[in-house]
Chain A
Amino acid sequence: MNKTITIAHGNGGEENNELIKNIFYKHFKNDILERSEDAAVLQVAGEVAMTTDSFTVSPLFFPGGDIGKLAVCGTCNDLAMMGAKPKFLTCSVIIEEGFSTRELEKIVRSMKKELEVNGAVVVSGDTKVVPKGSVDKLFINTTGIGEIEQKGISSHNLQEGMSILVSRDVGAHGATIFAAREGITLESTLQTDCASLYPQVKALIDADIDIVAMRDATRGGVAAVLNEWAKASSVCVEIEEEKIPVQEEVKGICEMLGFEAVNLANEGTFVLAVAKADEVKALEVLQQTHESATLIGTVTHQHDGKVILNSSWGTKRFLDLPTGELLPRIC
């Protein structure tokens, strides 16, 4: 194969087939995909969940992951957050002319690895190559279907007295991407939290925990999830600020750039709401994967529709949704 992807690789002809065969089929190998029909035919049992997401990230490779891992985790995690086991994914890529074939294969390989963690397969796909400058290197869209294993999980179900937990320390992905970005010269050993969450969800279900609400804290971070829940359930979520787990390095980057860790994106961290009675058991299960999992707050009616942060010195403030582009502070 060529060292770089050319417009010819998206032409539907020979080069196109070569690209599909030598990269996508090679790594995604499974019976359904290899039938090469116009659409995949699937066997599913019971209720299914379905979701789609498009991925664009700069840089494409970052400490602890790449866009491929992100594209599988992102969609599988959305399924897992609805109590579903990820089963089937589609994978569409839009490639900028001139993109390195080797890098593309590296990305597809990391997608494969993450599919295995979830026990899911890619059953359908599409490749487009566009002229230089039309996209930023590579965009990936994945759509996924999963089989529901625990029903009734919803952001509308929060009630007074319920407990709010996070599955690990927050903000690592956003801080990593910021540190790796052009225009900001920062050295750090930080790694993204990018990871598949289905194994943790399965552990919660296996431990008979009644999951009330669950959401991965991607763009907008933990703050966005909590605000959505407070509004959807018409309750107040009260968080003890000092209990929110944040790695020292993430804290440091936030201090320097003027961010709050709760606003930073995560790719392998979720927020969980359970009844008070399930709180201890749920925490135990979460801590088997990440010791930093913590109980951070409770549901009240102090100010319905809002999230309140309580400080250790007795003051309160609203935690609002982040707005606009996150930009570093000036001085």
Chain B
Amino acid sequence: MKELALKNLYDDFRDGKTLQAYAKIIAEDAAKLDRTINIMEVCGGHTHSIMKFGLPQLMPENINFIHGPGCPVCIMPKERIDHAYVLAMQPDVILVTLGDMIKVPGSNGSLQDARAKGADVRFVYSPMECLKIAQENPEKKVIFFAIGFETTTPMTAVLIDQVIKQGVENILFHINHVTVPEVMKELIDSRDVHVDSYNNKIDAFLGPSHVSVIAGSKIYEQFPRDYGRPVVVSGFEPVDVMEGISMIVKQFMQNRCELEIQYKRVVTHEGNLNAQRLINTYFDKVSLFRWRGLGNVPESGLKLKDAYAKYDAEVVYKDVLPLAEIEDHKLCICGDILRGMAKPPECTIFGTACKPTTPIGSCMVSSEGACAAYYKYGNLL
């Protein structure tokens, strides 16, 4: 058997001719529709791919992208970023988190600022690195500030599992894991008062494949069934996204409303049952999780089960963590952007007061937010 090189995993999925062929099919199919189809890509990874590869430029006029709330850094409300900052500034704490979480400004500054003031803040690629850090620093408390959707939750669960099994005494967790289907429901069916969300324009969803690798495609069954919105679970390479869009357009053309999987090479209906079991062992759903730009969303977040409260930094450090909710700037229209009511350039502070270096709203915060992607890759249409 020929050895599988890393490039096999993406090369063919960025082929120019294949992309153009899909563009042609989508245009021909869309021409037969007498309406506009607004497709929400839920995940920030998709937004990033769509903008980086210029896919809106390949779409006919009546196929429109709505950029969803699926970027774990963007949706973190400021008060939780303040938690990270406060924890990092505690004596004898090493605060560990993932990627660009360390850049996001809270009300006192970002974790980078905390680091500049002498706090020990580290980013890791894999949460398992915490074990090594804890071992090398037995006199310190290592707090893992856990963020992410279904994709990163299993890694946190594995870390907790190991912490308990190995009897590690100096690792704590601050859990900010959130779930995709609940926020999708919220976008269609909101009960939050500060945005007029019954007016959402979402006609169909492009579901992120990596979420379904863990949680299965089953989590989306309710959307075609109960909400009349087709869902196609799609990969992240441009050819995957184009095929996913084409599948959605065909559903509208043929008057179907179904859950389909484009990313058949990995995604199954049931997902990774071991990972799901591990998550259910350690986590409960919280009744409300506040999303930056969207407000409170029922059952959309996770927390450590009460039985593991001694590992929960929110419990252990509850006396020092601030409680007040912090709203975004009044001019920020991230809520409307996330519901497809507006595009980033329509915001009066986009690119002026609100930039990747000084983000004001959630969508500018991480490179996977819609505003950041528009700012970075521009709109050359």
Contacts and interface: CB of A to CB of B under 8 A. Distances in A.
B54 A328 contact: no
B321 interface: no
A248 interface: yes
Contacts of B101: 330
Nearest to A311: B54
B6 interface: yes
Interface stretch (A59-67, A114-122, A124-132, A249-257): A249-257
A313 B23 CA distance: 10
Contacts of B238: 313
Given A313-B16, A324-B103, A257 B125 contact: yes
Interface stretch (A38-46, A98-106, A291-299, A314-322): A314-322
A330 B73 contact: yes
Nearest to B122: A183
A184 interface: yes
Contact of B356 (A183, A323, A327): A323
A308 B380 contact: yes
A251 B5 CA distance: 11
Contact of A255 (B10, B151, B210): B10
Given A323-B357, A331-B151, A316 B45 contact: no
Interface residues of A, number: 31
B308 interface: no
A273 to B, nearest CB: 23
A31 interface: no
Name the residue in B148, B149, B367 with the highest tally of chain A Cβ atoms < 10 Å from its Cβ.
Answer: B367
A252 B45 contact: no
Interface in A273-331: 303, 306, 308, 311-318, 320, 323-325, 327-331
Nearest to B101: A330
Interface of A: 183-185, 242, 248-249, 251-252, 255, 257-258, 303, 306, 308, 311-318, 320, 323-325, 327-331
Interface of B: 5-7, 9-10, 16-17, 19-20, 23, 45, 51-55, 57-58, 72-73, 98-103, 112, 122-126, 129, 147-149, 151-152, 210, 238, 356-357, 367-368, 375-378, 380
Q: Report, nearest first, the 10 A-B pairs whose CB atoms are least far apart.
A: A315-B54, A312-B16, A318-B378, A252-B6, A313-B16, A331-B151, A313-B19, A317-B377, A315-B57, A330-B99
5 contacts: A315-B53, A328-B98, A328-B99, A330-B147, A331-B149
Given A185-B126, A327-B100, A331-B152, 14 more contacts: A183-B123, A184-B124, A252-B7, A313-B58, A314-B58, A315-B54, A315-B58, A317-B377, A318-B380, A320-B375, A330-B147, A330-B152, A331-B45, A331-B72
